[in-house]
Structure 1
């Protein structure tokens, strides 16, 4: 179920093969969802403890800075927690393989790493009953911890790239070509809302299709076709 495949024990009958197919497909997804929920709970708890003093800000700018800080800290905590779990699993597996499976330290470390990374060459495997009972629980946690660690590292890298792009976009002055691109209604001037939307598009925060969908919803609500949504429009649409 952890996609390792040591090769020492395999299904041989048609029933066991069909059962293995179903068990692996559904079981791995269930364990992934379960452990993901546990990781999210731990991260939310740590975030609330670390940032509780910063959640009650006086101004909008302070609230924005706190949100940015919380987002960055959350990503760092996710990466740190996932890597800590990976190193803990490797160390625990090495110790069990050394003292339970009676392997050498190098072989124990080798098999531990090959197991948590789901490689499973098949040259080494758990042989004793206590070792296999330990592996049945240890591998569920460790293999998914490794997958999550790589996922969070990629997320941290993408977040860093987005922050660099946002910093570069906000530091640039508005050129003539950018002015023309930001003037969405082509009336010769750029309003504050147009400027914000253009900057968000350049930073990759929103896409053109998202803007079009929002504009379509606005047009449906603007029953008077006056460019504004009035309370009468909402009341009329509800009655309709």
Structure 2
């Protein structure tokens, strides 16, 4: 779940590759969520204090603060999901076109690359492929 990827066990079938992708994303999400929540707690306290100081005369500052927080989290989630999907799709298309990979293999490879899983069971066959994914 921490994306170590020793390389002694690698998924061979499409189902195993999908499960590996799901497992590694779940692991990254769990570790990331834990660290994010710890950091967010400190930042929220600082933002709330700053908001109160700047808006001392507003009677409904608590309601405005909640609305601001709800929208901020929603937009961050949408932006992150769109960026991840765009990166994944564009890099998969490149691997299919340049490296000649099947779509499933390209998806698996990009999941392993983006999460730094690195089982070592696949490598690039061309210099443009190596350069593109390293960037």
Bucket of the pairwise TM-score, normalised by the shorter protein: 0.5 to 0.7
Write the distance in 2 (CA, Å) between the matches of 1:103 and 1:6: 23
Q: Deviations over 1:27-77 (max 9, x none)?
A: xxxxxxxxxxxxxxxxxxxxxxxxxxxxx9x9421x331221111111111
Gaps of 5+ in 1: 8-55, 138-240
Of residues 87, 104, 111 in structure 1, which corresponds to 2:102?
Answer: 104
Normalised by the length of structure 2, the TM-score is 0.54
**Could you state the TM-score of these two structures normalised by the residue count of structure 1?**
0.32
Instruction: Give unmatched runs, 5+ long, in structure 2.
Output: 8-54
Aligned residue pairs total 85
Does residue 125 (structure 1) correspond to residue 123 (structure 2)? The answer is yes
What is the root-mean-square deviation in Å for CA atoms of aligned residues?
Answer: 2.6
- Distance, in Å, in 2 between the alignment partners of 1:115 and 1:60 is 50
Aligned to 2:81: 83
Which structure: larger Rg? 1
- Call closer, same or farther: CA 1:102–1:91 in 2, change over 3 Å: same
Query: Aligned with 1:100: secondary structure?
Result: helix
Residue matched to 1:60: 59
1:106-185 matches, within 5 Å, as 106-137=104-135
| Structure 1 consecutive aligned stretches of length 4 or more whose deviation exceeds 3 Å | 3-7
* Residues 6 and 124 in structure 1, CA contact (< 8 A), matched pair in contact too: no
Q: CA deviation at 1:5?
A: 7.8
